[in-house]
Amino acid sequence: MTTDDRFWSHVDRSGECWVWTGSTDRRGYGKLKVKGKLVASHRYSWMLAHGDFPSVGFVLHKCDNRPCVRPDHLYTGTHADNMADMVRRERARRSSLTDDDIRSIRGSNDMQHVIADRYGLSQSMVSRIQGRGRYPHVA
């Protein structure tokens, strides 16, 4: 079975969005192994439709549906375009932690993902705060 065949075997084209039904990362983006490397399924779809991966680096969704691989729902952009899109769609996490918040995070016995949800942070950020890699000035 070719990579293209494997790709299409994991695409549900029954709706407006063509939904990736294969494996996904923790954020909901499809993943496909291509020549031993994991590639985002929407990037692979872009490559199938346009002949190569985009030179600008990012393939973005017009539909704001992470598992969508429909080529006409995708467009290319720069890192700045991706960040602006994230803010526009209110996906950007904004946190203005106080020193008391930092102390609370460091003193909590809760699981890191629970703390992350509570403060609107990523689990890795909670880990860095607890390990004093972030906000080292807070005692």
Q: For position 41, which CATH number holds?
A: 3.90.75
User: 76 and 115: one domain?
Assistant: no
The pLDDT of residue 93: 60
- pLDDT, block means (10 residues), the chain with 139 residues: 95 97 91 93 95 82 94 92 80 74 93 86 90 86
User: 82 and 104: one domain?
Assistant: no
The pLDDT of residue 31: 96
**Token pair in block for residue 31:** 């993943």
Cα–Cα distance between 54 and 76 in angstroms, integer? 7
Residues contacting 81, CB < 8 A, separation 6+: 58, 60
Q: Is residue 94 part of a domain?
A: no
User: 80 and 115: one domain?
Assistant: no
Number of folded domains that form the chain: 2
The pLDDT of residue 44: 95
Q: How far is CA 39 from CA 3, 29, 31, 45, in A?
A: 11, 10, 6, 10
Q: Is residue 46 part of a domain?
A: yes
- CA angle at 90 for the pair 85 and 95, rounded to the nearest 5°: 115
User: 105 and 41: one domain?
Assistant: no
Domain enclosing residue 104, as ranges? 99-130
Q: Is residue 135 part of a domain?
A: no
User: 24 and 78: one domain?
Assistant: yes
User: 84 and 114: one domain?
Assistant: no
Tally Cβ neighbours within 10 Å of residue 118: 14
Q: Is residue 65 part of a domain?
A: yes
User: 79 and 122: one domain?
Assistant: no
Q: Is residue 136 part of a domain?
A: no
Amino acid occupying residue 25? D
For β-strands 11-12 and 19-20, DSSP reports them as antiparallel
User: 51 and 111: one domain?
Assistant: no
Cα–Cα distance between 130 and 136 in angstroms, integer? 10
The pLDDT of residue 105: 94
User: 66 and 110: one domain?
Assistant: no
For β-strands 58-61 and 37-40, DSSP reports them as unpaired
